[in-house]
Amino acid sequence: MFSGGLAPRDGGKDMTSRTLEGKNRFAGISRMAKSITMKSAALFFPEKVIRSVMSNIKVGCIEVESPDSGKWTLGHPESSPKCRVRVHRKALFENLVQYWDVGLGESYQLGDYDVDDLVAFISIIILNIPHLPGISGSTALHSEVNREGGENLKIHRRNGNTLRGSRTNIAYHYDLSNGLYSLFLDPTMAYSCAVYEKPEDSLHRAQLNKFERLCRKLELKPGDHVLEIGSGWGGFAIYASGKYGCKVTTLTLSAEQKALAEERIHVAGLESRIEVRLQDYREISGTYDKIVSIEMFEAVGYEYFDTFFAKCCEALKPDGIMAMQVITMPDSRFDGYKDGCDWIQKHIFPGSLLPSLYELARSVRNSGGLMIQHMENFDLHYARTLADWRRAFHSSRNEVMALGFDEFFFRTWDYYLAYCEAAFRTRNIGLLQLVLTRPNNVEFRGLNYTEG
């Protein structure tokens, strides 16, 4: 995936410091309504205001049980999806007034409410974006919600992707604990969208399908030197080198990922063909036959979109091929998204920004020598991937806690996985695989990527 605390055996920050780091991302903000001088109806009567705003829901049905006002319904009882929300603390409504969709996630982290179907709940919010003022992506206006959203934007803008900033941002998510990720990922340790070619495909089979599809798109052959930007835990490098006999130089900014990737490469007996570097893509030199990047571009940052493709163009041999997998935002919502801050950017992937297809094409054009040859969308495959991850994460709850993580961390990641599944299931975001070459590359065959 555009890739609590640590058990001491995993290295890194201890559990207490990391949990506090996560909570401090909204300490003093999410509860700001309690300390602000109340000057409006929104702050005096937050539940009333939120009920009014959410009465605009046109798709789906939410049954709410609140400690102050009993049971009430939003949307239409005969409409789907459906869910039930039990409010435990009225701080939920205060958070919604102050930070709207970011506050919705933060209140879940803190246990202000529970939902019988979290994916359905978030899906309803997404499907009603045009009708819900103040929410990320909505053009509807309402002066009484998201009143302090600018505070979240300030936090996001501090997480810039300079050479130093990128290392900090990547470490925040990927250096959590290798043991944590192993609890819900498949044996390849692939943390990106799988491709389910058959209804009966397991997560593991689907991840291998994804690797094979990318290898075919790269037209790999023995002797190729592949540059991988974003190592993960070495899954693609091991598959590509093991099956196709190519050499792989793979880059990561995560010390934890590098350590485990090298261990896995050693077990596979591929040390002579795979090199893992703790290195930024902006620091690479030399040229390569093939370049691959799997869900790394989301961490590049808008100001470096052009830099990324220019560097890839510089590193790709004249008859080379580049393949990338990337999560995308709809073109129509990109400008508003770029200038805001959502819950994922604040709490999961600091410094991240999903590109739109137009922005990808624009940056490819500005690269000075690349062109898009092929494109596929796998959005619903990602919804299924996330459902598989979340199911495994819940099944491993005791093991997660044994690693030193707490309830706050578990709820944060539960919301994260459900949030992303809902976004792909409603096609609010997409997942593209792109193939790029230089113009006049007569060596590029562009074969059927799904057949042997």
Q: How far apart are CA 258 and CA 276, in angstroms?
A: 6
83 classed as catalytic: no
**What's the alpha-carbon Rg for the chain, to the nearest Å?**
22
Contact 368, 313 (CB under 8 A): yes
State which H helix or E strand residue 85 sits in: strand 82-87
Q: How far apart are CA 334 and CA 362, in angstroms?
A: 13
Q: How far apart are CA 340 and CA 333, in angstroms?
A: 11
Q: How far apart are CA 232 and CA 251, in angstroms?
A: 9
Q: How far, in Å, are 3, 214, 240 from residue 220 at the CA level?
A: 25, 9, 8
Tokens describing residue 411: 């709820």
Tokens describing residue 298: 């989301």
Instruction: Report the residue count for the chain.
Output: 452
Judged by DSSP in three states, 451 sits in: coil
Q: How far apart are CA 371 and CA 180, in angstroms?
A: 39
Q: Which of 329, 334, 315, 308 is nearest to 432 (CA)?
A: 329
Q: How far, in Å, are 172, 234, 351 from residue 178 at the CA level?
A: 13, 12, 22
Show which residues are catalytic. Answer: 420
